[in-house]
Structure 1
Amino acid sequence: MDITGNTVFIPGGTSGIGLALALALTERGNKVIVGGRRVAVLERIAADHPEIDTVPIDTADPGSIETAAKEVLARHPELNVLLTMAGIMTAEDWHRPEGFLASAEAVVTTNLLGPIRLIAAFVEHLQTRPDATIVTVSSGLAFTPLKVTPSYNASKAAIHMLSESLRLQLADTSVKVVELVPPSVRTPLMPGQETNEHAMPLEEFVDEVMTLIETQPDAKEIQVERVKFLRYGEARGDYDQVVAALNHSDPHGK
């Protein structure tokens, strides 16, 4: 995708990587619409950054997605980029159903059904634009599992394969499919992650992502250097060692 001149909708863009990307994309001449559940946060973003539009959306709620999509397209018919940012990550204990079932259902609803429903809401419109992009968000944990987050790992592995498959299906359209593959980044995704020294600083991550978009506009995956340790363990032949290192380094594997 191009680094500038786009109209970008980022559901899940009210904090962490999503908000940081929203600000960075705005600075580079894109029109950005941020979506999120918390109206007070949306109001604060709109007040602090009046150049950014906001829309309420709960990506775990199909009705909310449908309503938000209509609002976004009514206000921004030139929309050409959908960045499916919303996601949750929860530690689980799969020894007993009470340790994981509710969490797993929530993770799959938000991390997998959410992007699927978002794509369903926008894919026909995006095909009417001469140059459009769907940006999915997987994780290094799609390729190397973190022991304490089985559902998150699985949801992101599914997003990776969904991205690969959509890229093939939409090859006959104007819509590109780009997969953003973050490592652990200092955000509020998990308790303690914002201050975890093993996680990548948010500003450093976003700066590298923006550089990659600018210098590799045809990339299918956006991979910062830090994620390649997890991304390519199997290809390098050291997968078992990568799994061991990830799960030994920190209680959250960061």
Structure 2
Amino acid sequence: MRISGNTVLVAGGTSGIGRGLAMRLHEAGNHVIVAGRRKELLDEIVAEHAGIGAEQFDVTDDASIRELAARATASYPELNVLVTMAGIMVPEKVLDPDSLEITERTVTTNLLGTIRLVHAFAPHLVSRPDAVIATVTSGLAYVPLPLTPTYSATKAAVHSYTESLREQLRDTSVQVIEIAPPLTRTTLMGAGTDNELAMPLEDFLTEIMGLLEAQPDARQILVDRVKRQRFAEIDGTYDQILALQAARTS
């Protein structure tokens, strides 16, 4: 992926990592369009950052995604980068019957949302030179957090989907990149911006932008902090890290 000169749509770019990445891409010389559900946040971003576009949509609604793709590709025909950032992370207890609603909402948002976005935008992107689809997974795709089993499972599924997507598009102009963040200081699941166990958001964004620039042909973008989870199976530390994430002492 070239670091500047793109027209980028960040789906789920109104808060957290999505918003931060949208701002960094904007500052790097890209035309950025932020897409999200909350109009007040979209309006705030447009007011504060000259040149950024905004599109409202609901990642849980297939019709809304298809309408977003039609609007965005008509308004920005040069669009060549899609970042599928939208996601939710909510604790679940499998013995609580109310948790099934959380499970289904998480799958719809994190997994179906990503897949529907790809299906909606891919026909346009294959017609553009230097095109990119960037999916966002997590270190929890590789070692799950038992407190959030469906979130972890959807991120593992997005990783698998991304691998297949890259293979299917290998003879097109579309580069497929997986971005796998570690625990980062955002408001996701109330992690908080002062959580000492989490990577500071600005540090994460700086490292990500550096990796994108240094590795233009990258298949996967991994900051150092996430590599312990990413390579746990290979390193033989999977059981240890799973126990740690489960807060087990024995």
| Short-chain TM bin | over 0.9
Q: Which residue of 1 aligns with 2:209?
A: 210
In the TM superposition, what is the alpha-carbon distance from 1:118 to its structure 2 partner? 0.5
Is 1:88 aligned with 2:88? yes
In the TM superposition, what is the alpha-carbon distance from 1:207 to its structure 2 partner? 0.2
In the TM superposition, what is the alpha-carbon distance from 1:110 to its structure 2 partner? 0.3
Q: Which residue of 2 aligns with 1:22?
A: 22
In the TM superposition, what is the alpha-carbon distance from 1:248 to its structure 2 partner? 2.4
Q: Counterpart of 1:190 in 2: which secondary structure? A: helix
Structure 1: which 5+ runs fail to align?
250-254
- Residue by residue over 1:50-106, the C-alpha shift from the partner in whole angstroms, topping out at 9 and shown as x without a partner, is 2100000111011111111111111100000000000000000012322x2000000
In the TM superposition, what is the alpha-carbon distance from 1:171 to its structure 2 partner? 0.4
- Residue by residue over 1:4-38, the C-alpha shift from the partner in whole angstroms, topping out at 9 and shown as x without a partner, is 11100001000100110111001111000000111
Q: Which residue of 1 aligns with 2:39?
A: 39
Q: Which residue of 1 aligns with 2:159?
A: 160
Aligned pairs for 1:174-189 (under 5 A) are: 174-189=173-188
Q: Counterpart of 1:198 in 2: which secondary structure? A: coil
Aligned pairs for 1:1-254 (under 5 A) are: 1-98=1-98, 100-248=99-247
Structure 1 residues 62-71 or 118-127, which shifts more?
Answer: 62-71
Matches of 2:147 and 2:208 in 1, distance apart? Answer: 27
In the TM superposition, what is the alpha-carbon distance from 1:195 to its structure 2 partner? 2.4
Which one-letter code corresponds to 2:101 in the other structure? A
Q: Counterpart of 1:172 in 2: which secondary structure? A: coil
Q: Which residue of 2 aligns with 1:252?
A: none
Structure 1 residues 149-158 or 187-196, which shifts more?
Answer: 187-196
Report the RMSD for the aligned CA atoms in angstroms.
1.0
In the TM superposition, what is the alpha-carbon distance from 1:150 to its structure 2 partner? 0.3
Aligned pairs, how many? 248
In the TM superposition, what is the alpha-carbon distance from 1:205 to its structure 2 partner? 0.2
Which one-letter code corresponds to 1:52 in the other structure? I
Q: Counterpart of 1:32 in 2: which secondary structure? A: strand
Runs of 4+ in 1 over 6 A off after TM superposition: none
In the TM superposition, what is the alpha-carbon distance from 1:204 to its structure 2 partner? 0.3
Matches of 1:151 and 1:248 in 2, distance apart? Answer: 18
Q: Counterpart of 1:136 in 2: which secondary structure? A: strand
Matches of 2:141 and 2:40 in 1, distance apart? Answer: 33
Matches of 2:192 and 2:142 in 1, distance apart? Answer: 20
Which one-letter code corresponds to 2:136 in the other structure? V
Q: Counterpart of 2:8 in 1: which secondary structure? A: strand
Matches of 2:223 and 2:78 in 1, distance apart? Answer: 30
Q: Counterpart of 1:194 in 2: which secondary structure? A: coil
Query: What is the percent sequence identity of the aligned residues?
Result: 54
Structure 2: which 5+ runs fail to align?
none
TM-score normalised by structure 1 residue count = 0.96
